[in-house]
Amino acid sequence: MVEIGTGTGVSGAWLLRGMRPDGVLTTIDLENEHQRIARRIFQEAGFAPSRTRIITGRALDVLPRLADGAYDMIFVDADPAEYGACVDAALRLLRPAGVLALHGTLAGGRIADPAARDLDTVTIREVVKAVRESEEWIPALLPVGDGLLAAVKRP
């Protein structure tokens, strides 16, 4: 799995809990401090260091270096302005039937408000529409929390 936006490791710990015992989570974040905390959270949750690959950097700089078709899932919880580029990268990185999950796709209810025209909201709307209309994805928008767009890469 790939996680874009390590944060403090909470979502990464949940992803690890759902993975096979030999699965590896590659998690990417700009903030060294976030990754230091995440490393501690993973250790305290009982995950061996070999279960995680923590990469400091901007996701759009790191993703091109990851192997094509090598991942079962990509979870994105990062800057919405980069969601489009992350979707493009996911198409290359995921195996057939791999899952892309984008966090925050209801943008706190702003997605349904046509008057909301801020950059993040407009970007999320465009990304959701592009995934929905693409022949390469089977999408589902889940109305949980701030929204989760889950899309399966077509075989």
Would you state the pLDDT for residue 55?
A: 96
Q: What averages of pLDDT result for each successive group of 10 residues across the chain (155 residues)?
A: 96 96 96 94 96 96 97 96 96 98 93 91 95 98 95 96
Would you state the pLDDT for residue 124?
A: 95
Cβ within 8 Å of residue 15, ≥6 positions away: 1, 3, 25, 73, 75
Would you state the pLDDT for residue 112?
A: 87
What is the DSSP code (8-state) at residue 72?
E
Would you state the pLDDT for residue 92?
A: 98
Q: Are strands 148-153 and 94-103 parallel, antiparallel or unpaired?
A: antiparallel
Quick check: 147 and 125 in contact, CB under 8 A? Answer: no
Q: Which of 103, 110, 125, 153 is catalytic?
A: 103
Element (H, E) at 104: none
Which residue's structure tokens are 């979502």?
11
Q: What are the distances in angstroms from CA 153 to CA 39, 86, 129?
A: 30, 14, 16
Using DSSP, state whether 148 is helix, strand or coil: strand
Q: Rounded CA gap, 76 and 7, in Å?
A: 11
Question: Active site includes 103?
Answer: yes
Which residue's structure tokens are 């090598």?
70
